[in-house]
Copies of this chain bind each other. A is one copy, B any other.
């Protein structure tokens, strides 16, 4: 495929027709290759999982450092040694950390269940007794956050996710007068999918802003806190201290896990929060648990030894996955640079590349890719109820396939993006020609489509 390196919208009708034909040919070729590649989910690759295979032979002992048998019941808050490691990594006190099962998503779910059934520390009543409960959802965001809320019948109000965090002015305006706004999802470090990192300033405003709901809660899903792709390691804002300093100690609840550090399905998750929130969570947890899998906790403690062990381990992940992110960028640049039909993120951490294509073509791109054997996350997945109002957002997850497959898949994705854009521009011109009875005036590029690819977002 030839990339003319010029805005597709600026091409003459003939050149656009030529480009379209070229893309169609490239796509037919792509289809004929019988690919079966998957960029749908943020899953670690086998090589990444192999980094933690020592876990399969651990722990070497059955007692924690206090002499308690980890094989038995008990220890609802999790193994002290593990809580200390996470406390250091997340800049909180060990007493503020609860180590749980294999999924931080489960801890988030439990937390919302507790709010619904019992109410939180600062709740006037259980959320389930409120007329209406609404959450602010920065978009694009994590699909499972949204589907969880939808399952609870919690309404979602979107705000834009910027390079430095959610549109905080919009958030402040929403929470100020409306007591039905009870929470916000935030992935503060290398956000899913944009890669954005919430700045200290934005975090401080979120911690301090007046809210009509006394129990407004920031669900601070720090899933990628340690998941750096470059030497320039982002530091998560210390939301718990910021909130405490602002007089809202119970506002944030932080979640993290080793799902993308050790084994995705067999890691350990943690929750960190104020002392009051920790006591509240444990009180309800005690009704349905006789303690977490402390053997797995000890397994992880022996594996990591300490917080530096986690950091060192993450550098090994980086060696494996950074080239895949580079391959995504190379393929998109090679196929799409200059066409002004797409922009994409250049994350310095996390698990995703956020690809925005020409408005109205994301669904088509995903369908084209699917028919060529390349599975992408459904268009719109990063929006509540799966609805991207501009139909332009695609989340790319390059970690799971091997490098060569990422290259192959992304070259194919670039073809699909270019083809869908060419199709759309061609159709638009045809409809205008029809509407205007002929004529050759090119439409000005739509401002919202004007893209400068390459800029980090």
Contacts and interface: CB of A to CB of B under 8 A. Distances in A.
A108 B152 CA distance: 19
A117 B144 CA distance: 19
Contact of A148 (B74, B75, B128, B287): B287
Contacts of A147: 287
Contact of A106 (B73, B284, B288): B288
Contact of A288 (B46, B55, B108, B294): B108
A113 to B, nearest CB: 6
A132 interface: no
A348 interface: no
Contacts of A41: 73
A397 to B, nearest CB: 12
B117 A288 contact: no
Chain A interface size band reads 35 or more
A442 interface: no
Interface string A32-46: 000000000101101
Contacts of A384: none
Chain A interface SS verdict (over half): loop
A43 B72 CA distance: 7
Q: How many identical subunits does the complex contain?
A: 2
A121 interface: no
Contacts of A105: 288-290
Interface string A45-69: 0100100110111111010000001
A280 interface: no
A103 interface: yes
B62 A288 contact: no
Nearest to A110: B288
A109 interface: yes
Interface string A131-168: 00000000000001001100110000000000000000
Nearest to A268: B293
Contacts of A60: 56
Contact of A109 (B49, B151, B287, B295): B287
Contacts of A102: 101, 292-293
Contacts of A49: 62, 69, 71-72
Give the 8 A-B residue pairs with the shortest CB-CB distance, closest first. A109-B288, A266-B295, A71-B263, A151-B287, A49-B71, A73-B264, A102-B293, A266-B293
21 contacts: A43-B72, A49-B69, A56-B59, A56-B60, A71-B265, A73-B264, A75-B265, A102-B292, A109-B288, A116-B117, A117-B117, A117-B152, A148-B288, A265-B290, A265-B292, A265-B294, A266-B293, A266-B294, A266-B296, A293-B293, A293-B296
